Amino acid sequence: EVALTSERFGVQRLPFSRVGDRDVAFFERVLPGRVVTDPEELKPFNVDWLQSVRGCSQLMLKPQTTAEVSQILRYCYERNLAVNPQGGNTGLVGGSVPVFDEIILSTALMNRIISFDKVSGILVCQAGCILEKLNEYLEEQGFVMPLDLGAKGSCHVGGNVATNAGGLRLLRYGSLRGTVLGLEVVLADGSALDCLASLRKDNTGYDLKQLFIGSEGTLGVITAVSILCPQKPKAVNLAFLGCQSFAKVLETFTTCRAMLGEILSAYEFMDEKCVELVERHLKLSSPVTGSPFYVLIETSGSNSTHDEEKLNSFLEQAMTSGLATDGTVATDDKKIKASTWFIRISSIHQALWSLRERITEALTHDGYVYKYDISLPVGKLYDLVTDTRARLGRSAKNVVGYGHLGDGNLHLNITAESYSHSLLEAIEPFVYEWTARCDGSISAEHGLGFKKKQFIGYSKAKEAVLLMQRFKAMLDPKGILNPYKMLPS
């Protein structure tokens, strides 16, 4: 069995009450037909997506409204029952599953779109809406979500906001901290906080929503979101290039940013080992081979002729100057350009993105995965992979690096045949110390959850952590919301 229980991590259960028959009876009155107690049905909600941590909750609640969430939390607060808010359970740091027997509060049935304003592009929806479904709805209206993730088919927008998810469009549209305009949140004692503004500008007092964005369900349960959505680009082009060194990857990015300017929407990189794993485990095939590094460049704009001219100029520069040695391009145009490396078929858009988006999935097929999500100065991004690979030698199966180069975000992944405590000790705190020396962040977009909470000190000063703990104590004095997560014990 892959998943590790809390005992293996040496965590002690806090003195919360235990769920009894009278509690279940109360919840069944509040949520008729939406209370889950069957152990078999609960199994997948007790284990994270990576199958790396496992809790033992005996109760899952599925509210449909904010009023129901309020009733649930008011009762849990009075009874001192711990609660684990859960969206699509696609988190990668063990933040979305119980550690012990916390009640799972699922937002799965809170999936209603409340409103959408076509003039302003502002969407208001419940927290349980699936990201991909929202994007499909918006595309019909000529808009898109400002967020795109590999897990978009199952992640919930409330969970995205609670973890301040980054993803593939951050380079173009910025972080959720900028695009989320308002939130509705239920606090630990059951009181509902309505900050569901639909305004671009509101300068009245403290910006309370920012406290909950990235708080990982420890300060309140997000029940609804107001988010600013950009218009759907009329022209989207992709280029997939091979580079002979990481220095070339960096130089290509500098050239790309200078020549593509405002239409550059994504710049992703991956090493050859990533592509090899995707091909081996998922049977995908890369149209470009034989390079140590690959970059995926996306442009999105409003004028296909203008965008293609810009992209063609950039590609010509990249190829003639030796920045890239091989490549493929997919544009919205169906015409074939007479060049051996230049394929113009829109159907390969998804195939190219799959090479990048499904790396996480491919890694899970390679064995037990140690995942690190790091922000670093762009020039030093791949040095951490090289140094980790040298440090671990043959004790690791694979050490790979990929990520959002435009944002300085490296995903360092190490695989082994099975979990090994000695291998973990060789990786941690080495990776965190290395990151701290470069003034980086030990979590660029995944959050801290259960697995990384004890390492927050590598990225935040003691005073900052103390202030966070004071916020937690003020908003959740009994500590019932997502305990054992995000903040150090």
Q: For the segment 433-469, what is each residue's pLDDT rounded down to a tens digit?
A: 999 999 999 999 999 999 999 999 999 999 999 999 9
> Whole-model pTM?
0.91
Calculate mean pLDDT across residues 141-150. 92
Among 412, 372, 415, CA closest to 281: 415
pLDDT at 252 over 50: yes
3-state SS, one letter per residue, for 115-180: EEECCCCEEEEECCCEHHHHHHHHHHCCECCCCCCCCCCCCEHHHHHHCCCCCCCHHHHCCHHHHE
**pLDDT beyond 90 at 187:** yes
- Res. 138: pLDDT tops 70: yes
Position 122 pLDDT exceeds 70: yes
pLDDT attached to residue 315 = 93
Q: How far apart are CA 7 and CA 9, in angstroms?
A: 5
- How many CB atoms lie under 10 A from the CB of residue 103? 22
Split at pLDDT 50, 70, 90, the class of 8 is low
| AA identity, residue 38 | D
113-228, CATH topology level: 3.30.465
- For residue 2, pLDDT over 70 is answered with no
Q: Which two tokens stand for residue 306?
A: 């203008």
Is the pLDDT score of 338 beyond 50? Answer: no
Residue 446 tokens read as 């995944």
**What average pLDDT does range 4-27 have in this prediction?**
87
CA–CA separation, 154 vs 91, rounded Å?
Answer: 11
Beta-bridge mates of residue 196: none
Q: What is the pLDDT of residue 335?
A: 36
pLDDT (tens digit, 9 = 90+) per residue, 53-68?
999 999 999 999 999 9
Using the predicted structure, report yes or no on whether residue 424 has a pLDDT greater than 90.
Answer: yes
> Residue 298, SS3?
strand
CA 433 to chain centre: 23
In Å, how far are 158, 264, 274, 297 from 248, measured between CA atoms?
Answer: 38, 18, 18, 14
Q: Is the pLDDT at 330 greater than 70, yes or no?
A: yes
Please compute the mean of the pLDDT values over residues 110-127 and round it to a whole number: 97
Reported as a pLDDT band with limits 50, 70 and 90, residue 205 is very high
Give CATH 3.30.70.2190 domain extents, the chain: 235-363
Q: pLDDT (tens digit, 9 = 90+) per residue, 266-307?
A: 999 999 999 999 999 999 989 899 999 999 999 999 998 899
Q: pLDDT-based confidence at 432, cuts 50/70/90?
A: very high
pLDDT at position 98 is 97
CATH class of the 235-363 domain in this structure: alpha beta
Looking at the predicted structure, is the pLDDT value of residue 17 above 50?
Answer: yes
* 8 Å CB contact between 146 and 227: yes
Please tell me the predicted confidence (pLDDT) of residue 368.
92
Cα-based distances in Å from 296 to 385, 434, 467: 19, 27, 40
Q: What single DSSP character describes residue 337?
A: P
Query: Where in the chain is CATH 3.30.465.10?
Result: 113-228
Q: Which CATH architecture has domain 367-446?
A: 2-Layer Sandwich (3.30)
- Tell me, what's the pLDDT at 150? 82
Percentage of residues of the chain with pLDDT beyond 90: 83
Give the span between the Cα atoms of 397 and 420, in whole angstroms.
Answer: 12
Q: Where are the alpha helices (DSSP H) in 321-461?
A: 348-357, 359-364, 383-392, 421-427, 430-437
∠ CA 489-396-386, rounded to 5°: 90
Residue 347's pLDDT is 61
What is the rounded CA–CA span in Å between residue 90 and residue 160?
10
Q: What is the pLDDT of residues 160-181, one digit of tens each?
A: 999 999 888 888 898 999 999 9
Supply 362's token pair: 């491919």
Q: What is the rounded average pLDDT of the residues 374-397?
A: 96
Grade residue 369 by pLDDT with cuts at 50, 70 and 90. very high
Read off the pLDDT band of 19 (50, 70, 90): very high
In three-state secondary structure terms, 191 is: coil
CATH topology of domain 5-109: 3.30.43
32 CB burial (10 A radius; 0-12, 13-18, 19+): exposed
Report the C-alpha gap between 162 and 165 in whole angstroms.
8
Task: Assess whether pLDDT exceeds 70 at residue 340.
Answer: no
Q: State the Cα–Cα distance between residues 354 and 377, nearest whole angstrom.
A: 27
Amino acid identity at 236: V
Confirm if 487 and 218 have CB atoms less than 8 A apart. yes
Choose the weakest-confidence range: 211-225, 248-262, 326-340, 342-356.
Answer: 326-340
In this model, does residue 400 exceed pLDDT 50?
yes
CATH 3.30.43.10 domain position(s) in the chain: 5-109
Enumerate the β-bridge partners of residue 125. 113, 225
Q: Over 80: is that where the pLDDT of 84 sits?
A: yes
Query: What is the average pLDDT value for the chain, to the nearest integer?
Result: 92
pLDDT category at 342 given cuts 50, 70, 90 is: very low
pLDDT of residue 272: 97
- What's the full length of the chain, in residues? 489
- Residue 1, pLDDT > 90, answer no
Model confidence at 113, in pLDDT bands (50, 70, 90)? very high
Residue 249: its pLDDT value, please?
A: 97
Predicted pLDDT at 327: 84
Q: Given pLDDT bands bounded at 50, 70 and 90, which one contains residue 332?
A: low
Residue-level pLDDT at 346: 47
Q: Count of H helices and E strands in the chain?
A: 17, 18
> Which pLDDT belongs to residue 382?
97
Residues of the chain with CATH 3.30.70.2740: 367-446
Contact criterion met (CB below 8 Å) for 109 and 69:
no
pLDDT value of residue 149:
86
